[in-house]
Amino acid sequence: MRPRRRQTSTTLVLAIWGINAFAVLIILLVVMVYWARQSAQAASQQTPTVTLQPSLTPYPTRYDLPTVTRNPLSTEIVVQTPTPFVFSNTSRALPIGMSVSGRPIEVYTFGTGARQVMIVAGIHGGYEWNTIALADQMILYLTDHPEVVPSDVTLYILRNLNPDGDARDHGIDGRVNDHGVDLNRNFPINWSATWDRSGCFDQAPTTSGIGPGSEPETVAVMNFLIYRKIEALISYHSAALGIFPGGSPWDKESTRLAQQIADVSDYPFPPIETGCVYTGTLADYAVSRGAAAVDMELSDHLHTEFSANLRVLKVLLNFSKQE
């Protein structure tokens, strides 16, 4: 009988130890699952998920540019390289995006008022370098004279929307971005893959992009307009044609802004019509976001006409949309 008792006791001890080992294993598994979940939650908090707009598409490395027939009546643009401005105070510069080749797109802010207005320059890069030079002059002037901005206004100046084109050439070849896209044909309002080149820029091949809003420069300013309530916007260009209100047909408030600018300057309004049909423009997109907006042409490709544009700036700063 004793051997049976010993065998039973041994079996019981082994069973108890087996149960204990199984319980310890279960506890370890529970602890491991708990810590795994805690680590996953911490990682999700540290690295937020970014959801891109569904309309955005990956940026290709090249585009097939259409050939153009040169207008025999067009003349070459004579350009000069300006002396670059050096900003002693860059604290107002807000990077809002990057160009195709990784150059920053920056906005300068003046004032803190509830009414928001905006100036955009350099959409055609080095081909219209004098618009960038004008924006630089305004930034320097407003830095020295902040009292110019009314207390109820915030002014944003995007000095150069196409830094790649500006870096490439201060002439015809500087008009497009590094994908060969005319950024003022790439906005999603009234966008078209092709357009009648009659009366339009015809001195070099351009494209409107593989789709509306396909370019990183375009996306940068679109997102800026989406997340701010811009009441009035001037998109500076050169040269000579005058002031073009946004909207098709022209938006009522944009037309009123164009007329007020014409009243204090020599820029023609209504503008000179060349027969060009403008598609996918920044002004049209800004109107779709609720702003009064104009495309405004300087008189030539050489000068900033700073004094005249200080008067234009005053109009913009005091413009208020009518309900």
Instruction: Between 277 and 252, name the one with better pLDDT.
Output: 252
Q: Supply the pLDDT for residue 276.
A: 85
Provide the whole-model pTM: 0.75
Q: Supply the pLDDT for residue 146.
A: 95
Residue range 236-246, pLDDT digits in tens: 999 889 999 99
CATH architecture of the region 93-318: 3-Layer(aba) Sandwich (3.40)
Do 258 and 287 form a contact (C-beta atoms < 8 A)?
no
Q: Supply the pLDDT for residue 226.
A: 95
The whole-angstrom separation of Cα 117 and Cα 259 is 17
Q: Supply the pLDDT for residue 78.
A: 42
Q: What are phi and psi for residue 106, nearest 5 degrees? A: -120, 145
Residue range 37-53, pLDDT digits in tens: 555 444 433 333 333 33
Torsion of CA 244, 245, 250, 254, to 10 degrees: -160
Binned at pLDDT 50, 70 and 90, residue 97 comes out as: very high
The whole-angstrom separation of Cα 254 and Cα 247 is 8
* 181 token code pair: 């896209």
* 90 token code pair: 């860059």
Q: Supply the pLDDT for residue 291.
A: 98
The whole-angstrom separation of Cα 190 and Cα 212 is 9
Q: Is residue 217 over pLDDT 50?
A: yes
What average pLDDT does this structure show over 286-314? 97
Q: Is residue 163 over pLDDT 60?
A: yes
Q: Supply the pLDDT for residue 33.
A: 59
Q: Is residue 280 over pLDDT 60?
A: yes
Binned at pLDDT 50, 70 and 90, residue 123 comes out as: very high
Residue spans per domain, the chain? 1-46, 93-318
Instruction: Between 237 and 92, name the one with better pLDDT.
Output: 237
Q: Supply the pLDDT for residue 9.
A: 60
Percent of the chain at pLDDT above 90?
A: 63
Instruction: Between 261 and 45, name the one with better pLDDT.
Output: 261
